[in-house]
Chains A and B, each alone.
Chain A
């Protein structure tokens, strides 16, 4: 069974801190990995998508990396803000499969 695991399950940090969220996967042949944020009662908003041939993607204060050989991806958030509080999910797309992790619930305290 192909698994996607996110650690930690929850994280609370003071405003301004840099932080790292982790995603690990067991699929050996992936198309891409996508990071999403989900606000309560809402659908998922795409943050970054990394193709299997890429090592990282950046958007503003967000940077995502991908290491296929170790089955890991990280989402780095710089200078966190209270508005970053949400659940962050990673999704792995492999041939004929899409699998999500359970997410990391992030709270950024003012």
Chain B
């Protein structure tokens, strides 16, 4: 099966600019996750969708970050305006299960590496 697709692979922008990332999960996967991974740290969950609804966005900096999954399939994550501390790899993951189906693993894309100048 095709894996989780993310684009772009790399992005370099100046602070205060805007940027958007795209993710296409594995076909049929109901749950989609966006993570931020700063160098040397583990991934931090930003937002979790179940179909097109938000399950958890408690760690999403909502003043500058937004995400949507309008049709319950692919998703976009936007940062506006970007700050220097947003430099990180942004990972998208998907899993087959919905809430209550705890046995389904997460599958990750290769991520988008964002550098803020």
Which residues from chain A sit less than 8 Å from chain B, CB to CB?
4, 6, 31-32, 34, 36, 41-46, 49, 51-52, 89, 91, 93, 96-103
Contacts and interface: CB of A to CB of B under 8 A. Distances in A.
A4 B44 CA distance: 11
Contacts, number: 61
A49 B101 CA distance: 13
A64 to B, nearest CB: 12
Contact residues of A: prevailing secondary structure: strand
A49 B105 CA distance: 7
Interface residues on B, range: 20 to 34
A41 B112 CA distance: 10
Interface string B85-110: 00000010100000100110111111
Given A98-B56, A100-B44, 4 more contacts: A36-B108, A43-B109, A98-B33, A98-B106
B61 interface: no
B55 A44 contact: no
Contacts of B56: 96-98
B105 A43 contact: no
